[in-house]
Structure formats: C-alpha cells, structure tokens
Amino acid sequence: MMLNRTLWALTLRHPLRLCGTTVLLMLGAGTYLAQAWFTAHALAALVAGRGQAALGLLGGIVAVAVLRVLVNLVQAQVASGLGTAVRVRLRRELAAAALSPGRLHDASERAGVARLTITDGIDGVDVYVSKYVGHVLQVFMLCPTILVAIALLNPWLAVVLGSCLAVAVLAPRLWHRVLRRRGTIHWDSYERLAADFLESLQGMKTLRLIGAVGRTRSRLGGRSDELHRATVATMRTSLFDTALVDLAIQAGIVCAAAAAVLAATGTGQPTADVYLLLLLSSELFRPIRELSRHWHAGYLGLSAVAGIEALRGGTAAAPPANPGVPGTALVTITEVAFGYTEGSPVLRGATCTLRPGAITALTGPSGAGKSTLFDLILGYLQPESGTISVAGHGAGAAHVSVVSQHSYLFSGSVRDNLAVASPGAPDADLHAAARAAGIHEEILAMPGGYDAELAEGGDSLSGGQKQRLSVARALLADRPVLLLDEPTSALNDALARQLMTALQSVARTKVVLMIAHRTETLDYAGRVLHLDGGRLAEVVVADHDVPVRA
C-alpha cells in the first residue's frame, strides 16, 4: 500500500485540491478521535453512576457525529473534484498523444488499446486519485499522532501497537513485485481483449463476407478466458495481502483489549483512560482499513499505469509556427519533400499557394500522394524538408475542416452529429450548413427531424446522406481552410451540382482544396493542381484532358 510515482506526479499537478481533500480527511478523522474521548468519559460516568454527566457527554457524541457527516460530504466533493481534474487533464493529454502523427501512421498501433487506456484506464486513475491518495497521506499523518496519544496512556502498549501498525503498512511490500507483475499481466490481457473486440466490431461486415465470424468468436472467447485467469490470479495475491493486514490489525486490537483488562484489574471500576485506550487502539487502525478498501477500488487505475506511460511517451511536440498573420485564409507550401520510406519520395519539392476565391482541385493517379499532401497540411505528417503554413500558422488541424471519403458519424441525433463541430451553435447555423450541403430537406423528412436518432457509423443513412452530413459538419466548423476528398463520390448528378455550387460560394472566403476523381467536378474548379511522380504542377482549367483517375 504505497503511492505509485506516476500517479502521484499526476496528482501533484493539482496541489490545492490535494491539500483540501487531505485536510478534510484529517478533520473527519479528528471527529472520530473526539467521539472516542466523549464515549470513554461517558462510559466512565455511567459506571460511576453519574447519569447527568453521561447525558451531557452523549450530547457531545451526537454533535460530533453530525459534524462528521457534514465534513465527509464536503470532503467527498473536494476529492471528486481532484479526481475529475486529473482525469480531464490526463484524458486530454492522452487523446493528443493518440492522435500524434507517428501513432496515426504506425501500423502496429491498435486503436482498442488506446481506447481502453483513455476510457477505463483513466476512469480507474480517477478512483485511485480521489479515494486512495488522500488516505495514504492520512495514514502517515494521523496514525503517528494517535500512537503518541496511546503512548501517553500506556507506553508498552504503544510499542506493541506500533509493531502491528508497521506490519499492516509495510508487510505487503514484501510481494509488491509479484502483485505489480500480475497487475501488468492483467492489464495486458484486458488490452488484448479490448483491441480484438473493437477490431472485430469495425470489421464485422468483412468477417461475415469471408465466413470468419466463428473463428473470431472463438478468439474473443480465448481472450476473455485469459483475462479471467489473470483477474483470479491478481485477486488471490490481493486476498493474501488483505489477510495479512487484517491479521496485524486484529492482533493489535487483542493486545489493546488485554492491556485494558490488566489496567482495570484490581481497581473498583474502569477509568475513562481505560476506555479511551481501547477506543484509540481501534481508531489507530481505522485509516489502514479504509486505505486497504480504497486500494482495491483504485487498482484498475494502478494497473493502467504501464498503458498510460506508453501512450504519453508517444506525444509529439507541436511543430513550430511559421510566421504569418493569424487567421489569414492562406495555405503556403514551399519546397516540401516527403517519403514514407528512404529512397522512395512521395513529394519532391512541392510548392504552391492556396488562396480564397475559387475551388482548387487536386488531381492525379491513385497513389500519387494526394492524401499524403492532405496529411501534411493537417500536421499528421512532418515534411522531410520545406515548410507548410496554414492560416498564418504552422501545419495543423486547428484551422482546417476535413471531409474524407469515409463519413464518421456516431450513435446519436442528427443535431449531435452536426453540433460536435461547433458546440452551442444555434439551430439557424445548423440549418444553413445542412442546406448548403443539400441535406436539410431530407433531415426534416426524418422522424424527429434534427433530433432523429442515427445508428452507429450512420448505418441508418444512405452513402450520399452520410457524405452530405459530413460536408455540413465541416461547413458548420467555419474554419478558414476546407479539405475535401471526392465529396461527390456518393451523390447523383443533381445533388453533386447542388453541392459543388455551394462549395463555390464557400470558396469565396475560404481556401477550398478538393481531391477530384470525377472529371465533371473540374467544371466547378477555378484552379487545378496535378500531382504525379512526386511533382505538383498547375494545369490550365480549360484543359479537359487532365488525367484525374488512376
């Protein structure tokens, strides 16, 4: 029962909240000590036949109990605030790390592992920080204080109880390495199951097509059994830990009871000090019992430390911003070279400047590097040489809206799926974006209109509807640069004309760069760039012989 260095460092980033929850814990513990004092003197008064004095002391017990309830309520809120602060900050950091360019293009990275760490792992950290950390501090501050008070009443008992306390606190460290190793095995098993499960869900259509559902089910069952075995092994070690702690506590309580009996032997009646000795001995171990309980509650967060450290280690530093005027709707690409493997360049000295005024179409054969250029503008990839400036800043997604070939919609209402691009946007803005994308009337025709519920991935919509919702969401984000990867691929001619006309209007004030795989979309472009062999060149818009397909 010790503090993990990584989780302790995360907690120390919020010192005021940590001090607040610790002080309130100490105040709550102080009410137990006050209650012990009142109870000891009340019992002594009753035995001595002083009923009136006992009633007065009983009133003190009630008052202290009420005070403790109030202190515990406030402490729970402050501790919850501490856990929430750590959780929110850590989740933001890990989300940024998961979206770093290196991880996005690393084929060995498994989305299910990152998802598990960012969700369940950080939720476990919340419990660990809000429940366990404060009680560790309480143990090391309160228990020595109580032990000193016991020593004033019975020095020899204090020595015995101090030994029992040391066993309860330090003995579990003897197999700390075993527990940490089993915790790592448990978390690794959890990660493998989460990753396999998510990948199976994402590829369910393919699994059905190739008849691999049964094999996948068997593999997931094996992963589940593996996690079960790891969990049971961890629980066995944890139970041994709990048994030893309880043994030390019970030994201390028995010794205190024996000392009280010896102190009362030969006296006419037990004194208040004898009762107080018994009650203080019990209070000495209360923080240990609470600490053990909260350790088990926060164990998932402790197990997730390895995953958190691995994900935090992948955080990429933001590229330095290029000089420019903040907010300028301008994309400047200067002598950019990039290749995924050495000796196989995808881009060779690509140079161009994109301005508002008209749609810019990007053409070229499949594999020429069009999507790579998008990733470079978004900052997901870093050029080997050359520079990219987006809206007066370095390359990055902060000033860019993207509509990819695959529409990413989640389970929720149409309104939720749109508003995620601009939280708090009024309905008028949602309607204007949807109208520009040519989807407004179809949304109104749905049961519930903008409050109509969508299936996960937008599976309840047609391909064209999903594509136009994605375009509407990008327009609602209202960023100075808009990147589109074949936005009309799932649309019929009439809807494609409507969308392209809307994009022409958007391009008057924003940079609109569109990958074109349909020749007819070039009619709406004011400028055409052709990418082939790593070279980026501008072509005459009127030249309809521009090769746009693979």
State phi, psi for 423 to the nearest 5 degrees: -55, 135
CA 29 to chain centre: 33
Q: Looking at the domain assignment, is residue 326 inside a domain? A: no
Cβ atoms within 10 Å of 14's Cβ, excluding its own: 19
Rounded mean pLDDT of the chain?
83
Percent with pLDDT over 90 in the chain:
16
Q: Which of 185, 187, 134 is nearest to 300 (CA)?
A: 187
* 514: pLDDT strictly greater than 80: yes
pLDDT tens for each residue of 88-137: 999 888 888 887 666 666 666 778 888 888 888 899 999 999 989 988 88
How does DSSP assign 171-240, residue by residue?
GGGGGHHHHHHHHHHHHHHHHHHHHHHHHHHHTHHHHHHTT-HHHHHHHHHHHHHHHHHHHHHHHHHHHH
**301 and 382 co-located in one domain:** no
Task: Note whether residue 407 is domain-resident.
Answer: yes
Q: 17 falls in which pLDDT band (50, 70, 90)?
A: very high
Q: Are residues 269 and 385 in the same domain?
A: no
227 and 188 inside one domain: yes
Q: What is the pLDDT of residue 163?
A: 92
Q: Are residues 369 and 424 in the same domain?
A: yes
CA distances from 46 to 76, 143, 206, 214 (A): 36, 29, 79, 74
Confidence at residue 482, expressed as pLDDT on a 0 to 100 scale: 87
**Cβ pair 509, 430 in contact under 8 A:** no
> b/e per residue, 289-324, with b = 16+ CB within 10 A?
ebbbebbeebbbbbbbbbbbeebbebbbeebeeeee
CB 353 within 8 A of CB 331: yes
**C-alpha Rg value of the chain to the nearest Å:** 33
pLDDT of residue 21: 93
**pLDDT beyond 90 at 207:** no
Tokens of residue 520, six digits = 């007819």
Task: Please identify, among 250, 281, 313, the residue that sits at the C-terminal boundary of a domain.
Answer: 313
Domain with 421, as residue range(s), is 331-539
User: Tokens standing for 537?
Assistant: 């060149």
pTM above 0.75, yes or no: no
Number of domains in the chain: 2
pLDDT band at 268 (very low <50, low <70, confident <90, very high): low
| AA identity, residue 318 | A
Q: Are 185 and 226 in contact (CB under 8 A)?
A: no
Exposure string of 240-268, with b = 16+ CB inside 10 Å and e = fewer, is ebbebbeebbebbbebbeebbeebeeeee
Nearest to 529 by CA among 517, 545, 513: 513
Confidence of residue 215 (pLDDT cuts 50, 70, 90): confident
**185-207: average pLDDT:** 85
Per-residue pLDDT, 49: 81
Average pLDDT value for residue range 22-40: 92
CB 321 within 8 A of CB 498: no
Residues 6+ apart with CB under 8 A from 208: none
Is the domain of 19 the same as that of 78?
A: yes
Residue 325 is assigned to a structural domain of this protein: no
Could you tell me if residue 320 is inside a domain? no
- Strand pairing class (511-515; 359-363): parallel
Spatial separation of the C-alpha atoms in residues 514 and 525, rounded to whole Å: 9
Round to whole Å and give the CA distance between 453 and 455. Answer: 7
C-alpha dist (Å) from residue 255 to 160, 172, 277: 8, 22, 11
Higher pLDDT, 78 or 319: 78
Tokens 């390359």 map to which residue?
Answer: 395
359 and 267, same structural domain? no
Q: How far apart are CA 322 and CA 333, in angstroms?
A: 11
234 in the same domain as 136: yes
Q: Which residues contact 223 (CB under 8 A, 6 or more apart)?
A: 189, 192, 193, 196, 197
Residue 343's domain is classified under what CATH number? 3.40.50.300
Q: Note the pLDDT tens digit of each residue in 447-505.
A: 889 888 888 777 778 878 888 888 888 888 888 888 888 887 777 888 788 888 888 88
CA distances (Å), origin 183, targets 152, 177, 491 = 42, 10, 52
The four Cα atoms 407, 408, 411, 416 give a dihedral, to 10 degrees, of -90
DSSP β-ladder status, 511-515 and 481-485: parallel
Whether residue 93 lies inside any domain: the answer is yes
- Do 461 and 518 lie in one domain? The reply is yes
What's the rounded mean pLDDT across residues 384-405?
80
Dihedral, CA of residue 288, residue 290, residue 295 and residue 301, to nearest 10? -140
At 544 the pLDDT is 45
Phi then psi for residue 512, to 5 deg, are -120, 110
> 39: which 2 tokens?
């109870």
**Comparing C-alpha atoms, which of 228, 282, 230 is closest to residue 255?**
282
**Average pLDDT estimate for 140-152:** 91
Tell me, what's the pLDDT at 348?
A: 87
User: What is residue 324's predicted lDDT score, i.e. its pLDDT?
Assistant: 36
Within 10 angstroms of residue 547's Cβ, the number of other Cβ atoms is 12
211 within some domain: yes
Give the 3-state secondary structure of residue 313.
coil
How far is residue 129's CA from residue 17's CA, in Å, rounded to a whole number?
A: 11
Residues listed for the chain: 550
* 67 and 161 together in one domain: yes
User: What is the maximum alpha-carbon separation in the chain?
Assistant: 114
Measured CA to CA in angstroms, residue 377 lies from 381, 387, 467 at distances of 8, 10, 22
Domain boundary among 250, 285, 313: 313
Q: Please give the average per-residue pLDDT across 9-25, as a whole number.
A: 93
Neighbours of 129 (CB within 10 A): 28
pLDDT tens column, 308-343: 888 887 544 444 433 333 445 588 888 888 888 777
Residue range 393-406: average pLDDT? 78
360-373 pLDDT, tens digit each:
888 888 888 888 88
**Helix residue ranges per DSSP H, 213-323:** 213-264, 272-297, 299-303, 305-312
Give the pLDDT score at 317. 41
Give CA separation, 253 vs 95, 110, 144, 378, in Å.
49, 51, 17, 65
Q: Do 72 and 155 fall into the same domain?
A: yes
* Residue 82 in this model has a pLDDT that exceeds 90: yes
Query: Do 377 and 269 fall into the same domain?
Result: no
Between strands 385-390 and 412-413, the pairing is unpaired
Amino acid 474: pLDDT: 87
Q: What is the CATH number for 265?
A: 1.20.1560.10
Q: How far apart (Å, rounded) are the C-alpha atoms in residues 158 and 277?
A: 10
Q: Based on the fold, state whether residues 291 and 347 are members of the same structural domain.
A: no
- For residue 389, what pLDDT band results from cuts at 50, 70 and 90? confident
Give domain status of residue 282, yes or no.
yes
- What is residue 329's predicted lDDT score, i.e. its pLDDT? 58
Question: What percent of the chain is modeled with pLDDT above 70?
Answer: 92
Residue 85 inside a domain? The answer is yes
Instruction: Provide the Cα torsion 362, 365, 371, 376; round to 10°.
Output: -70
